[in-house]
A and B are shown apart, each in its own frame.
Chain A
Amino acid sequence: MKKSHIIAIVMIVAAIGIFISSGSDMTTFSTFKEATATQKVVKVSGDLVKNKEMYYDEQENPNLFTFYLKDSEGQERKVILNNAKPQDFEKSENIVVTGKMQNDEFVATDMLMKCPSKYKDEEIYVKSKETASIMN
């Protein structure tokens, strides 16, 4: 057997090993229930609860933003983010937070928002208000 073949086989074995080990990097999204149970860093995907308080007062603390998130099971929890409130947050449809539960609150270290992009709307812009309203 050639040396390069041996090395190639070693690499293939390594690749399989990495794929198996990196399985732990791949997650489905957690729920608040699971997060409470594991007490580990998890990702929770959910929707913003629009009728509950969203708090950000940059003059009080520019690094504190809290809001309520409803996970896929319908559970609502307060999320505390240690960062500034992102732009267009209210518009987000779906939010993914990374963090862990602490006393019934989810302390997030990272957050990803999925926003309907305003530039992808199928809209015709009309010159003046008198002629027509913006149509969809």
Chain B
Amino acid sequence: MEEIQYIGEHLLPGQIGKACVMLSFAAAVLAAVAYYFATEKRETPEADGWLKIGRTAWTAHGIGMFGVVSVLFYIMINHYFEYRYVQSQVSADLPFQYIFSAFWGDQEGSFLLWLFWHVVLGFVLIFTAKKWEAPVMASLSLIQIVIVSMILGVYVGFGADALKFGSNPFDLLRDTMEAPIFAQADYVTLIKGRGLNPLLQNYWMTIHPPTLFLGFASTSIPFCYAMAGLWTREHQAWLKPVLPWALFSGAILGTGILMGAAWAYEALTFGGYWAWDPVENMSLVPWIILVAGIHTNLIARSAGYSIKATYLFYAFTFIMIVYSTFLTRSGVLGDTSVHAFTEMGLENQLVAFIGIFFLQTMWLYFSRMKGIPVKEKEEKAASKEFWMFIGSLVLLFSAVMITASTSLPVYNKIREVFDPLFEGRTIADAVDHFNKYQLWIGVFVALLSGTTQFLRWGGKNWDDKRRKKFMVRMGAAFIVSAALTGLLCLWINATAWQYIVLLFSGVFAIVTNADYAIFYARTNLKATASALSHVGFGVLLIGIMASGLNKRHISTNPFAQRDMGLSSEMLDKNVLLYKNFPMYMSGYRVTYTGDTLVGNDRRYDITYEKLDSVGRVTEEFAVRPTILYDNALTKVAAYNPSTKHYLHKDIFTHIATIAEREADMEVRKEFEDTLTHYRYDLPYDTPLSVIDTTRKKGPDGTPETYYLKHEIELIEITESPNRPDYEPEEGDRIIGAKLKITPQIADTVFYANPMLVLRGARVYTYPDQIDPINMRLRLHPDLIDLTFPPESALNYEAKTFGIGETQTIGNLRVTFQNVFSNPEHPSYVAQEGDLAVGGNIKVENLSNGVTEILQPLYIIREGRPFVVKDSDNRTGAHVLFESINPATESFALRVAEAPATQNIVPLEISTKSYRTDYIVLETIVFPGINLVWLGSIMMMVGLTVGVFQRKRGI
């Protein structure tokens, strides 16, 4: 094939970008080697040299990464659509604030985000890790090598058997796919960007991924420390410096997960913050293991037990992060998750990713196992370390359970390899399945957290007196918690005993930990962080129970329906709301008052009025759920909720669906094409009847046809625009009609304002719709000829007037009243520097007695005069200036009388233009949801406080 010389491509940035990828890959390899030798040859004179090489290599790696990120931003901002990644993520109309979202919207960009954070954390380590720098950075460099390989885009081997390593964000579109358009040398000028998925055009997409990936990246540090501890056989020394990193990671990863939950709740419509989606699960699992690791780390520091467990927990935190990366990015989850990325064809590489770090862990662990100190003496039953370790095991248990269930698609895939007939299993009800088992994890963790706080390391001084004190304290906490749980049950509808147990556990965790904080925080500052986190966990549990169990739909009348014997699952969830037509539901009067389109966001205004028993409005608020159209504004892409927040509950509202003709422009066009209009000639002064047929179900259920008579009357003909959707242009001639419609059945009258615009030689029609009677009215273009007779049909006569002078021209008695400045006319748009005057000219038609004031204009623009005619079709007068003589104050006018017209307005009416001004609304109340957020935030703050305390070595 002949090589095509493409024009208009920007190849240089891509070349620089690819070079930066190569540089950062090579530098990571060099850093890994250098840090490896710096570790192996520690305490020899050579070590220093290796360390310097390692640092330099890491700096080079960082520069390379910085280059990759900058170039990718550069080509995205400049819309270089010849690059595949740019073409798939950006479009010319993408608002700038979403460039970041577009950057990490797909595989390569999110790998880059992850790499970027590793670079940053690596520099922090270089400056702070001291003697741990070399072994820790060696592992971190290895991680970087593996992740950079994901964006290498290098083929090893030849032909069809070539192995692909990574997917490069700087690949050209024409190199990654085949299409006939690439036969054109100037294809760059023809293509456009696909644009960011509208679901991701959201500020959560700007803040959630960076936080989550910082969380991901931060789990690497405890992993690297664990590897370093094993490698250098310093099984005790690493436990101290790793702790702040682990706490930091727990806080950031937790915040990242929490943001995901908040995003789901605030912006998606599944009506909740956690759905046990595989991707959610697999970000939670590493966090749970990490928290278990933090606890064994504390045990190991204070009591000397659990060092092995700490190694394994920190190692598996990172390995589970990699496993979750595999699940989300390999396509193995298929359609079971909403989060899955586009497949990249790198499944094997992702499996290798897991394999490498699993093997690294296993090899180091088993080769060093014998040397890891183990305390021979067993923990005392009344010691803090024993119960904390049990708590960590419970957490591990939870992680194993979640992982096992979530990995079902992987299990299915493996079974299918051996048995092609194997039918894949799925979890029948994921939410139910996970809640059922994880509930007990919550119970154990909450109870353990409360009791263990009051035990001492090594079970010190555990005598009868202390045991008695402990028992009294726990007994008191038990009684207080039981009483509080009883009170809570008045609010929370705990339908099963298991829920009451969980509630009690949550309350118990709060009571005991608060007690602990009050009595011990003064003497032991570490208590604050721990107590805060554990109280937070208790609060979270209560929040989950309250918002989950008391969640109810109010977009319906549940009590009435329950009386009808419907099961709760079969209750209606949605109501239909017509515009400006209030609807009563569950104690509220709800009205949809209108909507506005901003960009591709359509916002609906919905007001809620809470009514008391006698129907008085006690409270009023508005919500604005939105509908997001796709980038071309042709189809709805997403429905976004709106929530009214209270301290004690949320009212969550979203639009379930809208009329199909509003949701899909293709459907609308099809419908409009099939709509039949009938012509009616409406006389100026006599109302006209329009017959409408409607079919309704008769008493026996068979459809019957009804006839309805609507009366239409002309109020006025106007030449001023009366439509908000009309944008004036100079030279437009406008004719609009104001019509009054009196329907036969409704007890109200409607007004319609159809309009025609004559712009150049084209006629634009602005129809009007009266939704309650499904009527669409438009003016027939014949009205133009009736209103604006062609100039050739007019017989002008020139006359000169003084101010106040009256002359008779044919049937018209014309009085020149006066002139005025700053005139206005529908077909005149004032410009800077215009000299414009208007005349008030009274015209009386002597044959029909109609009198009107006409206002023609005389304008001098850029030294040249031009005029704007005024006309009136009731008098039939057409008047324009010919010239003005300022010296004599005389005005030359040209006046013509239009030939007599029929005084009719030709209308086209369709009575089958069904209304689309309605929405289907779903409203859910989540009581106590703020406890979920409050509890989670307390846990994160507790972890963060821990970071600073451990950093200062308290």
Q: Which residues of A are in contact with B by a Cβ distance under 8 Å?
A: 2-4, 7-8, 11, 14-15, 18-19, 22, 25-29, 43, 58-59, 62-63, 82-85, 87, 94, 98, 107, 109, 114, 119-120, 122-128, 131-132, 135-136
Contact = CB atoms under 8 A, between A and B. Distances in A.
Q: Which of B177, B636, B639, B659 has the most CB of A within 10 A?
A: B177
Given A11-B397, A26-B425, A109-B569, A135 B379 contact: no
Contact of B181 (A4, A19, A126): A126
Contacts of B405: 22
Contacts of B639: 87
Contact of B918 (A59, A83, A107, A132): A59
Given A3-B379, A15-B400, A126-B190, A26 B423 contact: no
A122 B178 CA distance: 10
A4 B389 contact: yes
Mostly, the B contact residues are: mixed
A7 B922 CA distance: 47
Given A25-B429, A62-B575, 4 more contacts: A25-B428, A28-B426, A29-B423, A82-B569
A57 to B, nearest CB: 10
A125 B659 contact: no
A27 B432 CA distance: 14
B193 A125 contact: yes
Given A4-B386, A58-B659, A132-B181, A127 B191 contact: yes
Q: How large is the interface on B (under 10, 10 to 19, 20 to 34, 35 or more residues)?
A: 35 or more
Q: Which of A14, A87, A128 has the most CB of B within 10 A?
A: A87
21 contacts: A2-B378, A3-B379, A4-B378, A8-B393, A25-B432, A26-B426, A26-B427, A28-B423, A43-B428, A58-B657, A62-B575, A87-B639, A94-B335, A98-B428, A120-B342, A124-B173, A124-B177, A124-B179, A124-B191, A127-B189, A135-B180
B433 A82 contact: no
Contacts of B574: 62-63, 83-84
A119 to B, nearest CB: 5
Contact of A82 (B197, B394, B572): B572
Contact of B657 (A8, A28, A85, A128): A85
Given A15-B397, A27-B426, A131-B190, A119 B408 contact: no
B576 A132 contact: no
A28 B421 CA distance: 13
B194 interface: yes
Nearest to B180: A135
Contacts of A14: 397
Nearest to B632: A125
B769 to A, nearest CB: 16
Contacts of A27: 425-428
Contacts of B401: 15, 18
Contacts of A85: 657
Q: Which of B87, B91, B181, B394 has the most CB of A within 10 A?
A: B181
Contacts of B179: 124, 135-136
Contacts, number: 127
Contacts of A43: 426, 428
Nearest first, the 8 A-B pairs at minimum CB distance are A84-B656, A63-B572, A114-B335, A62-B920, A26-B425, A25-B433, A135-B179, A62-B574
A127 B186 CA distance: 13
Given A3-B379, A63-B573, A119 B424 contact: no
A105 B194 CA distance: 42
Contact of A58 (B386, B389, B394, B576): B576
Contacts of B194: 119, 123, 125
A58 B179 CA distance: 43
Contacts of B432: 25
B87 A124 contact: yes
Nearest to B197: A119
B16 interface: no
A6 to B, nearest CB: 11
B390 interface: yes
B746 interface: no
Nearest to B437: A18
Interface in B391-405: 393-394, 397, 400-401, 404-405
Contacts of A127: 189-192
A26 B428 contact: yes
Nearest to B390: A7
A29 B386 contact: no
Interface of B: 87, 91, 173, 177, 179-181, 189-194, 197, 335, 342, 378-379, 381, 386, 389-390, 393-394, 397, 400-401, 404-405, 408, 423-429, 432-433, 437, 569-576, 636, 639, 656-657, 659, 663, 918, 920, 922
A14 B397 CA distance: 10
Nearest to A27: B428
A124 B181 contact: yes
A123 to B, nearest CB: 7
B889 to A, nearest CB: 57
Contacts of A125: 87, 91, 191-194
Nearest to B88: A119
A82 B379 contact: no
Contacts of B429: 25, 98
B945 to A, nearest CB: 29
Nearest to A60: B576
A59 B397 CA distance: 50
A83 B555 CA distance: 12
A12 to B, nearest CB: 9
Contacts of B91: 125
B913 to A, nearest CB: 14
B656 A62 contact: yes
A82 B397 CA distance: 38
A102 B378 CA distance: 61
Contacts of B335: 94, 114
Contacts of A83: 573-574, 656
Contact of B408 (A2, A26, A59, A87): A26
A25 B401 CA distance: 13
B181 A135 contact: yes
B918 A3 contact: no
Contacts of B572: 62-63, 82
Contacts of B394: 11
B191 A126 contact: yes
Nearest to B92: A127
B424 A28 contact: yes
B312 to A, nearest CB: 13
B657 A87 contact: yes
A126 B194 CA distance: 10
Contacts of A107: 570
A136 B177 CA distance: 10
A84 B269 CA distance: 13
Given A62-B575, A122-B177, A7 B393 contact: yes
A3 B385 CA distance: 12
Contacts of B918: 58-59
A26 B177 CA distance: 40
B175 to A, nearest CB: 13
A4 B374 CA distance: 14
A25 B427 contact: yes
Contacts of B400: 15
Contacts of B379: 2-4
Q: Which of B197, B394, B920 has the most CB of A within 10 A?
A: B920
A94 B424 CA distance: 15
Nearest to B921: A62
A91 B656 CA distance: 18
A72 to B, nearest CB: 9
Nearest to A24: B428
Contacts of B433: 22, 25
Contacts of A87: 636, 639, 657, 663
A29 B437 CA distance: 23
A1 B193 CA distance: 66
Nearest to B195: A125
A136 B181 CA distance: 10
A28 B389 contact: no
